[in-house]
Structure 1
Amino acid sequence: MRSERGWAGVICCFVLFIVVCLFLLLNMKGAIRASGHPELGLLFFVIPGAVASFMSSKQRVLVPLLGAILATPVCLVVMRFWIFSNRSFLQELAWIFSAVFWCALGALFFLFISGLIEARRGRG
């Protein structure tokens, strides 16, 4: 049972990471660029990390990180071949690695919040 929940977390993060990547590449392209802060879209990658951390029972940081790392090549292929961008490959690689960082940070944030809730229950 425990390993099934781990794989569910990996698959959940994999799918959500790709969905967030496609959403940012297709829908938010003009809005984020027009605001002058294109890096703000990377904050959406916190969501797959937090959801995958919620789905897994053990290794709540490694499971989302593994899902994000597995989704990275898929997102790079989509960015290079189906969505025409004016960025170089190294810029896209840096963007996707920072997305992996934000995904892991989302998992850490969920772990922090769940720890606070458990500590609060233990005191009360």
Structure 2
Amino acid sequence: MGKRFFARKNIALESGGDVSEIDGHARKDILAILEKWAFQEKTNQGRLIDLGCSDPPTYDPETDVEDSVEFTGGEVVFIIRQTLGMLTISRFTMKEKAGKWMVKKKEFLDFNDKWQRSVL
């Protein structure tokens, strides 16, 4: 969805077109993913408010690197490092709910080396 959304939205923006239909379809797709795979919290749903897009994308399994995985207190924490673009270091916390692992929260390492909560 990401690369297709990026291309369609950029074409519409460059031509002065209306992006509301493009955003509406993307919002529906993202909501379905969040409902299935993330705890229903305000911050986790924040991506639905601002459907920005970037190149390279925020998540890119081909270039992002998994720095560590830790299991503590019934939660799994992944540290993911971008190797292109903003070079963001993110921390994803997952927890099991009804037999399924779901994203509890996402954080990023800020310029003061502190973890800050972020939208998914």
TM (norm. structure 1) is: 0.31
**Higher strand proportion:** 2
Which of structures 1 and 2 has the larger relative contact order (alpha carbons within 8 angstroms, sep 6+)? 1
**Higher helix proportion:** 1
TM (norm. structure 2) is: 0.32
